[in-house]
Amino acid sequence: MTSPRTLLKIWNLHPKKQFGQNFLSEPSTSKMIISRSNISPDDIILEIGAGLGALTIPAAGVAKQVYALDKDHQLIALLKTELLAQNLLNIELMEQDILKFDFQAFVNKKNINQKLVVMGNLPYNISSQVLVQLIQSRKHVTRAVLMFQKELALRIMANPGVKDYGRITAMLKYCSDIKPLATIKAPMFFPKPKVDSEVVEICFKETPEYPADDEAFLFKVIKAAFGKRRKTLKNALSGSELAISADTSIKALEQAEIDPVRRAETLTIREFVNLSHTLSANILK
């Protein structure tokens, strides 16, 4: 693996801050991530942000097929040349913005009849959006192995009752199991970021432990509850986009056996699901 600094210099390119480009520069780190990801020869990988191929190339050495996305056309051209030199035939590069990516259209076009394994080193500024997208598209994704800034990784793994527990955490806990795979120190990247990173595995459940009657509405309730997280649930819900009165909020919370003066970060997934059911019933009345 040619160092990122050398490759970029040869191509007269520079890391683009607006794309959050920090490239893994130590081959042993890339191999460790792939090893801990437990990729099998039957897996089809969708990689978010191929970059210079630090994960793309070792993943292709194990998986059946790798579809590697990147929105930077200059990096796509560079990586295509690298892949040709290594004669890697099971990688398809796609110039694509993940936030505009349609999972359903993709699996139909490629005639893929199995769930994907998603991988990627996610820029901080789009991490939450990508996670919501994966949750909504999880019928096509069995699991995701993603690298985040350490603080965000800790947030998405948080449990109810702590400050880090938030909207994305609750949505993920509803439909997945999450575990840490590795901590990657900042000096392992070029350019060196200000903080360390964490690799996290998100395994999507076939069926949630506490399935909601209306999943889209559940996620609206979670968003509303955390919209004004310093307020009590009674006030957060009644002042939200759900457009419900304080009386309706209190009634639904009491029917769900939730104290109206509690705050969103104290609720378990089961309580959020129960609240979505009682809110739906009260709104429809």
Which residues define the annotated binding site?
A: 22, 24, 49, 70, 97, 121
Residue 177 pairs in a beta bridge with 203
Q: What is the distance between the alpha carbons of residues 124 and 235, in angstroms, rounded to a whole number?
A: 30
Residue 23 pairs in a beta bridge with 190
Count Cβ atoms below 10 Å from residue 49 Cβ, excluding itself: 24
Counting every residue, how long is the chain? 285
Q: Which residues of 70-108 are buried (b: 16+ CB within 10 A; e: fewer)?
A: bbbeebbebbeebbeeeeeeebebeebebeebebeebbe
For residue 130, what are its two tokens?
């990508």
Annotated binding-site ranges for S-adenosyl-L-methionine: 22, 24, 49, 70, 97, 121
78 contacts 51 by C-beta, under 8 angstroms? no
Q: Pick the closest to residue 279 from 255, 261, 258, 259 (CA basis).
A: 255
167 contacts 222 by C-beta, under 8 angstroms? yes
Residue 170 CA, chain-centre distance (Å), reads 13
**Amino acid type, 193:** P
User: Would you call 68 helix, strand, or coil by DSSP?
Assistant: strand
